Amino acid sequence: MHCPFCKHPDSRVVDSRTTDDGTSIRRRRQCPDCGRRFTTVETASLMVIKRSGVTEPFSRSKVIAGVRKACQGRPVTEDALAQLGQRVEEAVRATGSAELSTHDVGLAILGPLQDLDLVAYLRFASVYRAFDSLEDFETAITELREQLPPTTPGGLDEDLGVPAPAAAAD
């Protein structure tokens, strides 16, 4: 590791410890030439294979930007988007794979997005689950209705802005 101050081509590790989230290692280094100390952070590289076949490093900011589009016009805060980005990154790193497809990353987004906002989830899912028809949307909405607890005020229907199914008359 080159010293950032004097550009000496070597340095000595003084201290190493993992970060709080366990995804990287923080190393305190000292230059043997100028004696100054500096910190480095090491993370395992995670590559994403795009549809074109090109690989690029995983980017949490790209995840957040994509989800932000699905959340357009929805009551979702920037803090919530940042937390979602962190959850997605943790999930894809937990797979243990060094390379993932963009489709795999998109699927990793669906769970946290469903917890965040149901309308944004449906918007995003329509792309990553390749909805082809209204029936695909209806199936997804039915699945969401079955997952919601029955005591949810308004429930999915209110969140989606559609009328609730009529109750059966006795």
pLDDT tier, 1 (very low <50, low <70, confident <90, very high otherwise): confident
Over residues 5-38, the pLDDT tens digits come to 999 999 999 999 988 777 789 999 999 999 999 9
Both tokens assigned to 112: 């946290």
Is the separation of the CB atoms in 131 and 77 below 8 Å?
no
In a domain, 161, yes or no: no
pLDDT score recorded for residue 168 = 47
pLDDT at 154 over 70: no
| 108 and 34 in a common domain | no
| 52 and 39 in a common domain | no
Torsion of the alpha carbons at 142, 148, 153 and 159, rounded to the nearest 10? -50
pLDDT tier, 165 (very low <50, low <70, confident <90, very high otherwise): low
SS3 breakdown of the chain: % helix, strand, coil, rounded to 5? 45, 20, 40
In a domain, 104, yes or no: yes
Residue with tokens 């410890």: 17
| 91 and 37 in a common domain | no
CA separation (Å) from 88 to 36, 97, 129?
Answer: 37, 14, 17
pLDDT at 56 over 50: yes
pLDDT tier, 120 (very low <50, low <70, confident <90, very high otherwise): very high
Both tokens assigned to 68: 């932000």
Beta-bridge partners for 16: 27
| 132 and 92 in a common domain | yes
Total structural domains in the chain? 2
> What is the domain range of residue 114?
47-147
